[in-house]
Amino acid sequence: MAALDYLSRTDSGTLYGKPGLDLLLIETGLCRAVISLQGAQVLEFTAEGRAPLLWLSPSAQFEPGTAVRGGVPLCLPWFGENRRDPSKPKHGLVRNQLWELAGTDELADGTLVLDFRFVHPGDALFAASFECVLKVSLGKSLGFDLSLSNTAAEAAEYSWALHSYFAVDNVAEVEVEGLDGVEYLDKTRGFARDCLEGLQTFPTEVDRVFEQAPARQTIRTPNPITADSENCHTVITWNPGAELAATLADIGADYRGFVCVEHGNAFADSWQLQPGESASARLTLSR
């Protein structure tokens, strides 16, 4: 069966009652997924016979140029605040731009691979031109293969993360293993440096950047979630907690239903790419 038989084009009005964004709906024998062409952002993913992997905010907005809260947005070419100019948008520019669906492929095991492409010409937001390809694999697990090329005439620094929002029953009961003994920067304490001992938990607001983190983490829930990465040296753990969530219109009391364990290369792990140089990374998520 051709890959396109599994894929249909729809929109946020049809699926969520909130018109504004063009979406792709993927339904195969292995999984169901929804992807927004804005940001090449996976909004939903559920493997056959498994609990939903991702959290999408019930209050999410689907407006062109506005970030959608939930799923797996790609933050690039900078993660978090732009450290050179904090007035620029948080988390870069690609998550709010339309991407091109450049190709589809069906693997022998039934996994569907979608190739998304984004070309940045260089502008006032980010001077260097670049090209980004994100391959999204939809099967028994959710996979991302990121390839980034600096097409500018000068060297440039790129920081990025796949900002995964995972669906959980209660964030206060979640534990993350795979970060024991790793140093982190704590944003809730002015990026003070500390070291995690044992499991990462979320009793209140947590916003930590782990540099040179291990390649594998497991989120302990009744339906455990596993993240395996290649060349993703930064892991960010985040949940706003009740106080901060109350100030965020697209989260509010729903903060209990998700945990973010994000993977990429940011801060000290950022990519320094020379003219014409490329770098790549891979992330596989499953439960």
Cα end-to-end span (Å), the chain: 26
**Cα–Cα distance list, 68 to 34, 130, 232 (Å):** 13, 23, 23
Instruction: Reply yes or no on whether 262 is catalytic.
Output: yes
Catalytic residue among 44, 91, 233, 262: 262
Instruction: Report which secondary-structure segment, H or E, holds 91.
Output: none
Catalytic residue among 44, 91, 120, 163: 163
Residue 276 CA to its chain's centroid (Å): 25
SS3 call for 146:
strand
Query: Which residues carry out catalysis?
Result: 163, 262
